[in-house]
Amino acid sequence: MSTYYRPERPLPLQSVKELCPFIQVQVPEDCDDGVEQRFYDGTNYLWFAQNDKGEVIDLFRYGGNDPDRILSALKKIFGVRIWSEYDKAYNLFAHNGTPVYSLQFEEEAA
């Protein structure tokens, strides 16, 4: 299972590194799978996407990872709300550089 999250405004990655010392920032050369950027709190991972300015614009939880500690720290330190894909406001905060695409299927009238 996965859950997508989006902050109400982009979070500067450099500031996350400086202000959240318990969160390790792993980028492809640091990741054991060599693929994706992610935050790591010593137990759980929370993947992220950034825009061309080096700001975090989307967050992703995969599998059994518990993102609460990381999300709580980001909310508190940056004073932002972070919306999950299940919140109505989630799509309102989509950055134009987001790698997340939403699909909607509608039934055709018979």
Total domains in the fold of the chain: 1
pLDDT in tens, 11-45: 998 899 889 888 888 766 654 544 578 898 989 99
Q: What angle (nearest 5°) sits at the alpha carbon of residue 74, between those of residues 73 and 80?
A: 125
Note whether residue 47 is domain-resident.
Answer: yes
Structure tokens at 13: 């990655």
67: containing domain: 2-89
pLDDT in tens, 59-84: 999 888 999 999 999 999 999 999 98
Note whether residue 79 is domain-resident.
Answer: yes
AA letter at 4: Y
Note whether residue 16 is domain-resident.
Answer: yes
